[in-house]
């Protein structure tokens, strides 16, 4: 519900407050003792969770076989590039007509600094990272209900909100309202802190002038020559600021998973998946559609359709299995999991989202509006616009994240054909950047409930408190893993942590140390 109203960033902030999106507890590579000789493990799914499991189990000495539905690894760690073709559920086909070298990440697009697990795998696999700018003071906050629908620079709202709060608190302090809780020394220190925090003048007021404009910007910035003297601009009055509601976007950068630094792999998010897949080599078997999962006291048997071989039915067996297939898909596969796990699988829904990548002939956000990276937040159905944190000042076309929405809005976008999703994103985005219509070159729109290999964006528990233990429990010889089986849902870090926990318990079972 929070996501539907405020967008993904606000949703993650709320999730953090509820304990659902926290810093990672990863403390270093998993240490597995030598595997029992000749023990084989099947890994179902070559997303992040599956490949982490496969790499670590192989390194411990297990024989590993990975079955992947798609022709490439990565799952939701996915990048669309020039020339790629994507067919969604329902048959709509999109061909990516971007300039060479440009890309769009329909799934994960950020790696927070405190997601230590996925960062460690990037380090170990030599995945080159670069900084992604999450918050940019020159980007916008926008509401259709405020300032005649015109966007306002983030820095202006941020500076004015801090300034007015500091002004009001200084007045309260000077009027003695805090005498019961603050000593005279405390009050003096507080006032000094408020002058710095809020850019107050010497009278502890937040008013138009150089102190405020040094934060929020100038009508005429400092320059040289005859007209070099700066001219301060006007601060917003407190009532106008509060009624705008734009201040609600300011806390986004304070949540653990949205504060700087944040990273992205150079060249696209799937560079992480590519590195993992290269590490695994021919252990991953692609275009294998699992149709049946069975287990008994001695092992696991999986039947799959070999789509690379005219759909031939193939049976493979192992001593154990790690199943990372999303429950949205697993619920449609013939299996014999226990009642409790089956209940979790059948009742877990998957939330949806919509992401639209828009390519433009020139980087007008840089050339015209001096925005280099960062995010604009809006109450329009697109929720946010994220500007690329790479290829600054280049003269080639650039790609924006032109829409990223959740909940009811995402369902509405999902009901449209892809070309209409792109058109709507342009229509809404041009209310913030009028250049969009004229400069548009190409677009691609991914509605996650129409993605065939997940049928949704991330797992949503019906009753996590009651069901979580059943979902993560070792079910005889099979253990499940993925972001849906973590307290970091929708993040690659959740997939990493879930996978490491799952294979640790599988290893205990295989070595007879389950009780330790």
338 lies in the same domain as 471: yes
Report pLDDT digits (tens) over 180-197. 999 999 999 999 999 999
For residue 7, report the phi and psi dihedrals to the nearest 5 degrees.
95, 175
pLDDT for position 514: 56
Alpha carbon distance 430, 13 (integer Å): 27
- The per-residue pLDDT for range 40-69, each reduced to its tens digit, is 999 999 999 999 999 999 999 999 999 999
Confidence of residue 22 (pLDDT cuts 50, 70, 90): low
Q: What is the pLDDT of residues 373-407, one digit of tens each?
A: 999 999 999 999 999 999 999 999 999 999 999 99
pLDDT at residue 4 in the model: 39
Are residues 283 and 419 located together in one domain of the fold? no
C-alpha to C-alpha distance for 169 and 153, rounded to whole angstroms: 25
CATH code of residue 179 = 1.20.1440.240
Provide the sign of the torsion angle of the four alpha carbons 15, 18, 22, 26, taken in this order. negative
Q: Same domain for 49 and 194?
A: no
Q: In this structure, how many other beta carbons lie within 10 angstroms of the beta carbon of residue 71? A: 9
Q: H or E element: which one contains 399?
A: strand 398-406
For residue 6, give Cα distances in angstroms to 378, 384, 404, 490. 9, 10, 11, 17
6 located within any domain? no
pLDDT number for residue 289: 98
The pair of structure tokens assigned to 401 is: 């994240």
Tell me the mean pLDDT in the region 149-153: 97
pLDDT, position 257: 73
**Helices 464-472 & 492-511, crossing angle to 10 degrees?**
50
CA distance 158 to 179: 29
| Residue 414 within any structural domain of the chain | yes
167: confidence class by pLDDT, cuts 50, 70, 90 = very high
Largest CA distance in the chain: 88
* pLDDT for residue 260: 81
pLDDT the model gives residue 253 = 75
Supply 398's token pair.
Answer: 């650039």
Question: Tell me, what's the pLDDT at 39?
Answer: 98
Please tell me whether residues 129 and 173 are part of one structural domain.
no
Question: Residue 387: which domain range?
Answer: 80-138+260-267+353-450
Q: Which of 138-147, 168-177, 247-256, 334-343 has the lowest mean pLDDT?
A: 247-256
Q: Answer yes or no: is 325 within a domain.
A: yes
468 within a domain of the structure (yes/no) = yes
Neighbours of 226 (CB within 10 A): 6
pLDDT tens digits for range 454-478? 999 999 999 999 999 999 999 999 9
Tell whether 85 and 54 lie within a shared domain: no
Q: What is the CATH number of the domain that holds 439?
A: 3.90.660.10
pLDDT at 14: 46
- Structure confidence at residue 2 as a pLDDT band (50, 70, 90): very low
Whole-prediction pTM value?
0.92
Q: Grade residue 421 by pLDDT with cuts at 50, 70 and 90.
A: very high
Residue 106 pLDDT > 90: yes
CA dist list (Å): 287 to 92, 284, 348, 462: 20, 10, 25, 31
C-alpha 342, offset from chain centre: 28
Q: Phi then psi for 493, rounded to 5 degrees?
A: -60, -40
Where is average pLDDT lowest: 2-6, 47-51, 485-489? Answer: 2-6
Q: What's the pLDDT score for residue 277?
A: 98
Residue 17: the pLDDT is: 35
Contact at 8 Å (CB) between 458 and 351?
A: yes
- Digit-coded pLDDT (tens) for 301-350: 999 999 999 999 999 999 999 999 999 999 999 999 999 999 999 999 99
Residue 365: the pLDDT is 98
Asked, for residue 397, whether it belongs to a domain, the answer is yes
Crossing angle for the helix pair 48-59 and 270-280, nearest 10 degrees? Answer: 30
Q: What pLDDT is attached to residue 148?
A: 96
Domain match, 236 and 170 both: yes
Shared domain check, 381 and 417: yes
Residue 480 CB contacts under 8 Å (≥ 6 apart), including other chains: 322, 323, 324, 330, 341, 471, 472, 502
Q: Given a cut of 60, is residue 149 above it in pLDDT?
A: yes
Secondary structure (3-state) at 194 = helix
Q: Are both 122 and 186 inside the same structural domain?
A: no
CA gap 447, 10 in Å, rounded? 20
The CATH number that applies at residue 475 is 3.50.50.60
Are residues 410 and 377 part of one domain? yes
C-alpha distances (whole Å) from 271 to each of 76, 110, 112, 286 are 12, 13, 16, 18
Statement to judge: residues 498 and 433 lie in one domain: no
Give the chain's domain count.
3
Those residues with Cβ within 8 angstroms of residue 194's Cβ, 6 or more apart along the chain or in another chain? 166, 167, 169, 170, 173, 200, 204
Tokens found for residue 317: 């067996």
Instruction: Evaluate if residue 5 carries a pLDDT over 90.
Output: no
Angle among Cα 421, 72, 264 to the nearest 5 degrees reads 65
Q: Averaged over 144-167, what is the pLDDT?
A: 96
Q: Report whether pLDDT(15) > 90.
A: no
Residue 183 lies in a domain: yes
Domain assignment of residue 246, yes or no: no
Average pLDDT over residues 362-368: 98
Q: Is residue 293 part of a domain?
A: yes
**Token pair in block for residue 254:** 């304070």
Answer yes or no: do 287 and 223 share one domain.
no
| Model confidence band, residue 251 (pLDDT cutoffs 50, 70, 90) | confident
pLDDT at res. 256: 76
Tell me, yes or no, whether 330 and 468 share the same domain: yes
Peptide bond before residue 422 is cis, with ω within 30 degrees of 0: no
Share of the chain above pLDDT 70, in %: 95
Q: What is the DSSP string of 384-422?
A: EEEE-SSSTT-SS-EEEEEEEEEHHHHHHHHTS-HHHHH
Mean pLDDT of the chain: 93
Decide: helix, strand or coil at residue 414: helix
């Amino acid at each position: 519900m929070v996501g539907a109203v405020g967008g993904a960033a606000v949703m993650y902030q709320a999730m953090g407050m509820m304990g659902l999106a926290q810093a990672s507890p990863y403390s270093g590579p998993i240490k597995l003792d030598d595997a029992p000789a000749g023990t084989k493990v099947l890994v179902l799914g070559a997303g992040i969770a599956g490949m982490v499991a496969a790499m670590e189990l192989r390194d411990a000495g297990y024989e590993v076989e990975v079955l992947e539905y798609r022709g490439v690894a990565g799952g939701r760690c996915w990048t669309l590039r020039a020339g790629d073709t994507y067919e969604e559920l329902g048959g709509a086909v999109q061909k990516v007509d971007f300039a060479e070298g440009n890309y769009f990440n329909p799934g994960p697009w950020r790696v927070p600094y405190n997601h230590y697990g996925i960062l460690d795998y990037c380090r170990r696999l030599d995945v080159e990272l670069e900084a992604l700018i999450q918050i940019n003071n020159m980007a916008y906050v926008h509401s259709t209900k405020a300032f005649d629908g015109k966007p306002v620079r983030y820095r202006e709202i941020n500076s004015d909100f801090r300034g007015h709060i500091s002004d009001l608190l200084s007045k309260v302090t000077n009027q003695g309202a805090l005498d019961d809780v603050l000593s005279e020394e405390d009050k003096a220190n507080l006032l000094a802190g408020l002058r710095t925090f809020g850019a107050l003048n010497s009278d502890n007021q937040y008013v138009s002038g150089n102190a405020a404009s040094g934060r929020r910007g100038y009508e005429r910035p400092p320059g040289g020559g005859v007209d070099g003297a700066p001219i301060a601009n006007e601060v917003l009055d407190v009532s106008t600021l509060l009624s705008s509601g734009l201040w609600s976007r300011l806390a986004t950068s304070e949540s653990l998973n949205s504060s700087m630094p944040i990273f992205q792999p150079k060249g696209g998010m799937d560079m992480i998946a590519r590195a993992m897949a290269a590490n695994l080599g021919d252990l991953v078997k692609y275009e294998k559609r699992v149709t049946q999962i069975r287990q008994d006291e001695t092992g696991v048997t999986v039947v799959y359709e070999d789509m690379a071989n005219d759909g031939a039915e193939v049976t493979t067996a192992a001593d154990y299995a790690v199943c990372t297939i999303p429950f949205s898909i697993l619920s449609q596969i013939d299996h014999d999991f226990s009642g409790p796990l089956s209940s979790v699988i059948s009742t877990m829904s998957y939330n949806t989202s919509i992401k639209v990548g828009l390519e433009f002939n020139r980087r007008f956000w840089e050339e015209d509006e001096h925005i280099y990276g960062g995010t604009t937040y809006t109450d329009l159905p697109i929720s946010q616009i994220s500007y690329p944190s790479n290829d600054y000042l280049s003269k080639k076309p650039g790609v924006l994240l032109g829409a990223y929405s959740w909940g009811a809005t995402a369902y509405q976008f999902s009901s449209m054909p892809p070309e209409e999703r792109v058109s709507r994103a342009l229509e809404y985005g041009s209310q913030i950047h009028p250049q969009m219509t004229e400069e548009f070159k190409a677009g691609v729109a991914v509605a996650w409930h129409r993605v065939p290999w997940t049928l949704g964006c991330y797992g949503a528990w019906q009753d996590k408190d009651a069901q979580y233990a059943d979902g993560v429990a070792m079910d005889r010889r099979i253990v499940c893993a993925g972001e849906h089986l973590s307290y970091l849902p929708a993040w690659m870090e959740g997939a990493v942590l879930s996978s490491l926990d799952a294979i640790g318990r599988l290893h205990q079972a295989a070595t007879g140390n389950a009780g330790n």
